[in-house]
Amino acid sequence: MAEFYAVTLVATALVLLAAFSSLLAFRFGAPLLLLFLVIGLFAGVDGLGIKFDNFGMAYVIGSLALAVILFDSGYGTSLQSFRLSAGPALTLATVGVLLTTVLFGLAAHFLLGFTYLEGMLLGAILGSTDAAAVFFLLRIGGINIRDRVRSTLEVESGTNDPMAIFLTIALVTLISNDNPDGFNLDLVKLFIEQMGIGIALGLLGGVIIVFILRRLQIERGLAPIFMLALALMIFSFTGAIGGSGFLAVYVAGIYAGSRKLPANIAISRFQDGMTWLAQIVMFLVLGLLATPSEFPSILIPAILLALFLIFIARPTAVWLCLLPFDFTQRETGFIAWVGLRGAVSILLGILPVIGNLENGQIFFNTAFIVVILSLVIQGWTIKALAKRLALIIPPRIGAIDKVELDLPGAANHELLAYRVVAGSPVLQGERIPRWAMPSLVIRDGKSMRYQYAGRLRENDQVYLFIAPSYSKLLDRLFATEAPVDEDDSEFFGTFTISPNTQVQDLDDAYGPLSISDSERGKSVADMITQRLGGRADYADRVRLGSIVLIVRDIDEHGHISSVGVSLEPVEPATELPIFRNISDMVHAIRDYLRQKRAEARARRQPEK
């Protein structure tokens, strides 16, 4: 019993030390994974003397932790980001990993004296980028780059693990069976089966997660536990029947994260906490597993291999993969540099040891050294390189704080906090639309109700309740100096129609719209007024399927005098990525033709 308490005390102390070390990472921009690994090394057999050499247990712990991390990575990846970068990211995650494996394998063959298959095995172990390190440096490290570059790096790091894991397991099996033929069609078939089953069960699992959380009356405190348990069930079941559990859990996370779920705030906070814990536990365990006293025997070739990976193998693979896509040379170079190796590579380095390969420990130690060097060389220089390549862009000016409100029985709302910018439209007399409900103003450290605050002042902090889709419009009022002109397409619509236009005419041009039979014979002004409860006001918005009608202005009698039209495409019915590009293209062409027809009709029918 005393031994149990001692082990628990040491384990919790290490977790707390790792958590405190994250403050250093935030302050100095250090790769967080590096600190966790160093703590594990310090506590290990060559440090404080904690002996942990159970490679099998370490692999199980690491795999479960990686499943949690990948699910959260998918849950936090928006469909917009995925669609924006799917082509280049998935190419890097498959072809890029394979090219890196081959190039690195050739170098390992010459530097370590491995056979070609053993060299490729080491290349597969180090073939994937680390999702945790990439997400930390890009999302938390304050590096603001073009959305497509950022999304490509994040999606690649979340999707390339299944390819590296498949190659590693396949090569370990070939080498342990002393298969002289190497790769054959059976391996290609196995790869297609694993990835296909992983994608299919990931989508199905995501649907099941959303269905259960929406239909069952689950206590809010239990909802995050249900989600995590279901995610791990998807991971384990997919792996048990021969699919890629890591791919399945990532796909399930993307699907579930794209849906509105009850208790979403509790789920997001729980996911954040569990992901941090999973990272800490996995990195500490892998650090404990290493024996630094064994490193000197392979230190020189491992350093040379790390430099080859950073400066030759990864850049070559990235350059070849991104040739078909419209990235600049600077962006391609930056993507090549953000190829950090991390916990997944160390985790895969365990497999040769478990598989009882002749050079199993050399694989693990080499992978560990390469990961450390990758994090030191690349991790600490990413922001400096982005500045040197002139890829840093100003952060998007918007709300300084945003909280999604998940109130029982209430409509979906967000609480936004803005610090009023000098010269912003709201200080120049621009009206705040009534769909934005200011509730609190903090001025000079004192809080007051908006009704009693008087005219807003520079640096006032204003809290408003709004519908989520309207936040960008408020950015224009509070957080920029650009005026809101009468022809501002984002705020007032792409073009103007007469308020006397018949709703039936709109349905003919843009239909089918979400209107009732009784509304077809009404004018646009009457229909908008009816839907707004009998009174329209400046900047009110009414959605009719694929279009949004916007009240541009009202006359002295309170009647609508001008209406704007904004074209906002509806999400396609299917969520399968294979259909999205075609669907988006069809929607874009349709909306463009509709816009041109409506503009021509507006020119022929002047406002009355």
Last residue of a domain, one of 358, 388, 418: 388
| Of the candidate ranges 4-8, 424-428, 523-527, the one whose mean pLDDT is the lowest | 4-8
- Total domains in the chain come to 3
Last residue of a domain, one of 478, 498, 522: 478
pTM score of the predicted model: 0.72
Structure confidence by residue, pLDDT tens digits, 440-489:
888 888 888 888 888 888 888 888 888 766 677 777 787 777 677 666 66
Report which of 25, 38, 559 is spatially closest to residue 287, judged by C-alpha positions. 38
**Cβ neighbours of residue 73 under 8 Å, at least 6 residues apart?**
131, 135, 154, 157, 158, 250, 253
- Asked whether residue 234 is assigned to any structural domain, the reply reads yes
Do 78 and 221 share a domain, yes or no?
A: yes
What CATH number does residue 16 fall under? 1.20.1530.20
- Asked whether residue 140 is assigned to any structural domain, the reply reads yes
Alpha helices in 76-146 (DSSP H): 79-91, 97-112, 116-125, 131-135
The structure tokens listed for 16 are: 């707390």
- Asked whether residue 430 is assigned to any structural domain, the reply reads yes
Enclosing domain of residue 302: 2-388
Report which of 176, 173, 170, 130 is spatially closest to residue 153, judged by C-alpha positions. 130
Do 53 and 114 share a domain, yes or no?
A: yes
Distance CA 594, CA 417 (A): 37
pLDDT at 568: 57
- Asked whether residue 393 is assigned to any structural domain, the reply reads no
Structure confidence by residue, pLDDT tens digits, 192-223:
899 999 999 999 999 999 999 888 877 777 88
Do 312 and 177 share a domain, yes or no?
A: yes
| Residue 378 reports pLDDT greater than 60 | yes
Q: What does pLDDT average to over the chain?
A: 81
| Residue 160 reports pLDDT greater than 50 | yes
How many other β-carbons are positioned within 10 Å of the β-carbon of residue 206?
A: 27
